[in-house]
Chain A
Amino acid sequence: MLTFKQLFSGATCGTLLASFAFAQAGDGRIVIKVGRVITQAGADIKNGVIVIENGRITEVGADKQGAWDIEVLEQPDLVAFPGYVEAHTSRGMDRPNENIEVAPFLDVRDSIDPISFYFEDMLRAGQTTLNIQQGNACVIGGQGMVVKPYGITIEQMLVRPNSGLKIGAAPRPGRSRATQAQALRKAFLDLRQHVEKLVKDKKDGKDYARREALFQGRDMEKEENKTGRAMDGKARWKVKDFEIVPRGEVDEKMEPLLRMVEGKIPAFIACDSAAAVRLAIEVMLENGLMETATLVLEGDAWKAADLIAANKIPVILSPNLVYVERDPVTGKEIETFVPGALDKKGVRFALQSMGNSAQGLWMQAATCVAWGLDRQKALDAVTKVPADMLKLGKRVGSLEKGKDGNVLLLSGDPLKVSTTVQFVVLEGNLVYDRSKDTRVRFLRDGVEQPNTAPRASMVERNPAAAVCCEHEGEPDHVHETKLDPGERAEPAVQQPADDGHGHGGHSDQDQQDGKDG
């Protein structure tokens, strides 16, 4: 059977950039006029206007001016909403590190693949701030990075480097809970011993130099005693007199870990169970990560909600919002709605997309509402809360004066199934226009893109497409290659109409598959 995978592997082949519905990046100035603005900071605004200059929002409110001397995107039928914020994802990378157990020195900058299908997809789904983390199956995974899904180099995409170190409290393959805990503690102990040795060697070296000078009858050269900085942060262990060691002497393989202990790099700790949460909190307390760490929960980790709430730790939830277990006595299935269970305890949480694009952040938030979570909390969990977690609370997550000009123009309410992202404005530049999104058209109409291998199945499903399409005559219309139905090799598949999952545009597409073609 022909799967979506196969469909897309053909579609993406070679024409990835051409298929983007990107408008040309502008100068970061735009006026957006819409029927309704959901600011996520106070009441919604009817017939509102958002003014963006130099990439930043300078005004949100009712349109008093009327006439503008800059580009105006006027869409009275649409709803403006801040771009969704993905607090944690492991997609968009090409061969991320999952092998080296303790790798604080690795940076996801080297793994992010700007032309990954994932980023195009995220733009289409309106997820405009993405925290990419590698090392899900490590002890200390590596440093993450916050990017926007636009740009062909990492520098263009960059929002915030060194967004955090990934830590594994969940056992990595080949380790058990006992040995993972041992390895995790050891990673921090190694750092501590390394720093202690640096200080000791420095002191010993100075003592020796002093004796040597005395012996040789030299006056001691005056030397600066404090060439480095004292150890900072809230770890329970502190190395005294660290200021005598220049920071440059710290092993660069360990240095990011030290910065994390000093509270300068946040931590994202993967917890696959409540027992892992316990370990994570122990490690956090011991190493001063209490205020900088976020837990990434999976499995039955929510069962440690009391521990999490008592320590006021923010969490990122697994895409599976419902935990299912079996009652050992009755054998009945027990379903627990995880965000609800955590919300009851007052835990602050962000939601995470599913591994495929069908269940993006809007879908997760909508699911939460369906399970009875407060709508505002659900919306916050995909905008403001993750923005705060990424220390970007002043830049993204809501439409307010001074924030980044990241605006989605939606066809309706953000949590409605039939809503689609019509336009995406990133830092004041219109970067996505659904009407020009070839891939969406490809799905909806079965229109073949240029320079792709013929897909006869598409023709069969939508014979009209083989002749031409409804967009004929539009200025950017690309005339499709006519196909010979006789070339068809595979049976056709039922393709759902596009208006089902508007946000994703399509489903079940993994980033890796985009490249396999």
Chain B
Amino acid sequence: MWIQLGCLALALLGGAPQSEKDPKPETKAPPAEKQESPSKGDAKKDSGTKKKDEKGEKAKEEAKPKEEPPREILPPLEPGPTLFIRAKRVIVRPGVELEGAAVLVRDGRIVGVGAGLEQPKDAQVLDADTVCAGFIDVWSALAIDPGSLNDGGLGPASKSADAFDMWSAEELRRQTLRAGVTTARVQAGATARVGGTGAVVRLAPGLDERLVMLTREGCVAINVGLSANAGGGGGQLQVIDGQLVQVDAGARGMDIFDRLADLDRIGGALEQGRNYLQAQIEYKHELAEWKKKIAEKDAELEKEFKKAKKDREKEEKDAKDKGKTFEEKKYKEDKQPNEPRYDDDGETLGRVWNGELPLFVQVHRHAELRSFFKATELYTRTRFVLVGGSESRSFTKQLSERGMPVLVWPTLRGRGAPDEYDGADLSLAGDLARAGVQVVLGSGGADPAATRDLPLMAQMAMGHGLDADKAFEALTIGAARILDVDRRVGSVERGKDADLLLLDGRPLQGATRVVRVISAGRVVLNPEN
């Protein structure tokens, strides 16, 4: 049945916008505006613009001063400094290194990378052994307010960006910078069935708000078969020693049927999104058709009005002569199609279904993974990211065939870990990568403090078989690609935002220290602080 529906939807969508990989600049236009456009009718619009053109540019100029420029929350952003970073080694991206090169940063951006770069006079000069891109945690709970992290009632359209408190956990974020993690995808609803829309943020404390949010809508997260949400709804997160920790909550509380029901929800969610999109598109076409018909009818009525008027006068007269009451002719026309109701969850899931937003699905156990691959087979437009995947070793074939990346949390599992992690061990990342699966790393998304330890986790994975370049890629450009921010961060290339680490040795080596951190072109960590 899915095949049929999928085909139908594809046919309907036709040239529907494919996923736009560019990071969106700030918030989307409110959806109501979108819905408005089809109802206006294209003909009207055209005539309107033509008239404007005829009036010429004078009218435009007159109209301009009346419109106030949209206000920002804050006054214009202060430009960032010009930085000239000299390094023995610049790691442009995994596998590409420049010896004795420099990086020029101006107002937040990298404007030059290379060996023969000229040093501008106004630049602040920084020296480093190695320069590389800042690390990205693809699975973080840092600075997400505890209420939202623990909220089981989130919907797909609930935004983690709203739960991200840029004024909180300052010290923890400073420590995280010191470890080299500059950017994270933060996600609320750690143990909820639906975690909502995740955000990609810069972690440096004290940054201007406009620099903090890389994207307010980075992905949608769904969790399958987490024993922590066995109680239904809210997960069990507890504050232990001032930190939010995921606590084993009746690990066996969820049986296989519950888990499969969780899995069914993925299909349900995608169907909801697809249906929403479909309804919107159908409505657009139906409305256009109806309008065309009505316009024709209108013209016809207009044409025959004189006759109709005469007929009416005659009938009226006849009725009067016969002493009857005159009755108007009944007018009938096709009913205007009903506009589908706006639904923010449906809209978000629609964007997930057609691949605009990646879908992060946390699945761990063998049985669920098997069903997951089966159930999602036909959603070819959707960009899945498998999260956790404790027992995903036996599915490397499916994963690489479908090009589905896996977000691994390389950690030692201690006592009291929920049973879905039973199959996890530190060699998972290495095993998957060797089998040709794209691997990214994350710090688990439940403990805010874990983001700080992400480079350490990567090193543990390296110690258990993950290739060093692959690990570096997983923390930089690989992570950026998955989160659709690869045009802005993840490598040291011209035109990108300057989110850089200045190291005293090679990255991801135990003895290497992060000396300075540059985030959005601002020096946010010095040896002094």
Contact = CB atoms under 8 A, between A and B. Distances in A.
Given A200-B39, A215-B331, A273-B167, 16 more contacts: A171-B147, A175-B151, A175-B153, A176-B148, A177-B147, A177-B165, A182-B159, A196-B36, A211-B294, A211-B297, A212-B331, A216-B328, A274-B166, A274-B168, A275-B164, A275-B166
Interface string A168-180: 0001001111111
B51 interface: no
B172 interface: yes
Contacts of A274: 165-168
A192 B39 CA distance: 16
Contacts of A174: 153
B148 A178 contact: yes
B209 interface: yes
Contacts of B294: 207, 211
A306 B209 CA distance: 11
A189 interface: yes
Interface stretch (A1-9, A278-286, A479-487): A278-286
B6 to A, nearest CB: 30
29 contacts: A175-B147, A175-B153, A176-B153, A178-B148, A179-B148, A179-B151, A179-B153, A179-B154, A182-B158, A189-B30, A189-B32, A192-B30, A204-B336, A211-B294, A211-B297, A211-B301, A211-B333, A214-B302, A216-B328, A218-B312, A218-B328, A273-B167, A275-B165, A275-B166, A279-B162, A290-B71, A300-B167, A311-B74, A329-B171
Interface string B341-362: 0101000000000000000000
A179 B36 CA distance: 26
B331 A328 contact: no
Nearest to B167: A274
Contacts of A216: 308, 312, 328-329, 331
B301 A214 contact: yes
Interface of B: 30, 32-33, 36, 39, 70-71, 73-75, 145, 147-148, 150-151, 153-155, 157-160, 162-168, 171-172, 188-189, 196, 209, 242, 294, 297-298, 301-302, 305, 307-313, 328-329, 331, 333, 336, 342, 344
Interface of A: 171, 174-182, 186, 189, 192-193, 196, 200, 204, 207-208, 211-212, 214-219, 236-237, 273-275, 278-279, 281-282, 285, 290, 300, 303-304, 306-307, 310-311, 327-329
Contacts of B145: 176-177, 273, 275
A285 B209 CA distance: 15
Name the residue in A176, A237, A306 with the highest tally of chain B Cβ atoms < 10 Å from its Cβ: A176
B209 to A, nearest CB: 7
B335 to A, nearest CB: 10
Given A178-B148, A189-B30, A215 B329 contact: yes
A338 B307 CA distance: 79
Contacts of A178: 148, 151, 154, 158-160, 162-163, 188-189, 196
A interface SS class = helix
A177 B196 CA distance: 13
Contacts of A212: 331
Contacts of A307: 73-74, 209
B501 to A, nearest CB: 23
B331 A303 contact: no
A176 B163 contact: yes
A36 B400 CA distance: 86
B94 to A, nearest CB: 34
B167 A196 contact: no
Contact of B147 (A176, A196, A215): A176
A193 B33 CA distance: 10
B352 to A, nearest CB: 17
A200 B40 CA distance: 9
Nearest to B68: A234
Contact of B165 (A218, A273, A310): A273
Contacts of A182: 155, 157-159, 162, 344
Given A182-B344, A196-B32, A275-B166, A176 B305 contact: no
Contacts of B196: 178
Nearest to B315: A217
A226 B167 CA distance: 49
A497 B77 CA distance: 57
Contacts of A189: 30, 32, 342
A217 B310 contact: yes
Nearest to A236: B70
Given A171-B147, A285-B71, A181 B159 contact: yes
Nearest to A237: B30
Contacts of A217: 305, 307-313
Nearest to A179: B158
A191 to B, nearest CB: 10
A171 B165 CA distance: 13
A281 B73 contact: yes
Contacts of B33: 237
Nearest to A328: B171
B87 to A, nearest CB: 31
A274 B242 CA distance: 20
A177 B157 contact: no
A177 B163 CA distance: 5
A215 B344 contact: no
Contact of B172 (A175, A176, A328): A328
Nearest to B72: A285
A300 B331 CA distance: 64
Given A216-B308, A217-B305, A217-B312, A304 B167 contact: yes
B495 to A, nearest CB: 29
A327 B309 CA distance: 86
A311 B32 contact: no
B204 to A, nearest CB: 16
The 8 closest A-B pairs by CB, nearest first: A217-B308, A217-B312, A181-B162, A274-B167, A176-B151, A176-B148, A214-B301, A176-B147
B205 to A, nearest CB: 11
